[in-house]
Every structure is written in structure tokens, then in C-alpha cells.
Amino acid sequence: SQQGEEDPQALSIQEGENATMNCSYKTSINNLQWYRQNSGRGLVHLILIRSNEREKHSGRLRVTLDTSKKSSSLLITASRAADTASYFCATDFTGTASKLTFGTGTRLQVTL
């Protein structure tokens, strides 16, 4: 079963706007990761935030983690059409990436 929920399930924005996705999880974690999936293909790793970190940036991505609320958010700034994809959060209990538990995913559509 999945660790938690992501919301919204779907998000449609225009190019240049910011996109925010939220993820909730249920138990303690070592880290939380975000992945992107294009049209039912493989997942691509975007960013990893450790349990003792609160915020992390990578290019146009900003991730926050609130372990007291068991939640995380992913912000994509200045969205592009190429950002159209499904985004998943994944929690890692093992300390390695050998057994990830994924959220339900957010489908992002960026229109011109």
C-alpha cells in the first residue's frame, strides 16, 4: 500500500506560473525524494531532502519538509511546457534507496 497522499491529484497551469504539489506520509523517514514520470515511462529523480533538513533548492525546484506534520511540498517556479509530467514523492525508511514507498502522484499539465 502507498505511504501517503499527494495533492492535488491534477494541476493545470500556464507556462511561467509556479506549480506547488503537496505530499503527506504516515511514518518516520530517513529522507523524502521527489521523482518525475513522463507518460508512463521510467521515473527520474529530482531532489532528495533528508529528515533533518527543512528546505532544499535545486534549480527551479524548491522542496520543504515538515516532519512534525509528516508532509512535504514541491514548488516548481516559472513552469515550462516540458515540465508536463506526473510527480511522485517517495519516502525511504531503509537509509538507502532500495525500498521506496511512493505517494499517489500529481499530474501536472503546463500549457503554452
Partner 1 sequence: KAGVTQTPRYLIKTRGQQVTLSCSPISGHRSVSWYQQTPGQGLQFLFEYFSETQRNKGNFPGRFSGRQFSNSRSEMNVSTLELGDSALYLCASSTTQANTEAFFGQGTRLTVV
Residues at the interface with partner 1 (CB under 8 A)? 1-2, 30-31, 33, 35, 40-45, 48, 50, 88, 92, 94-105
The answer to whether residues 31 and 51 touch, using CB atoms and an 8 Å cutoff, is yes
Burial pattern 69-84, b for ≥16 Cβ within 10 A else e, equals ebbbbbebeebeeebb
Q: How far is CA 59 from the centre of its chain?
A: 15
Cβ nearer to partner 1, comparing 70 with 103: 103
Cβ nearer to partner 1, comparing 68 with 94: 94
CB of 30 to partner 1, least distance (A): 7
Cβ nearer to partner 1, comparing 52 with 68: 52
The answer to whether residues 77 and 15 touch, using CB atoms and an 8 Å cutoff, is no
CB of 54 to partner 1, least distance (A): 15
Kindly compute the dihedral angle of the four CA atoms of residues 22, 25, 28, 33, in this order, to the nearest 10 degrees: -50
CB of 17 to partner 1, least distance (A): 26
CB of 104 to partner 1, least distance (A): 6
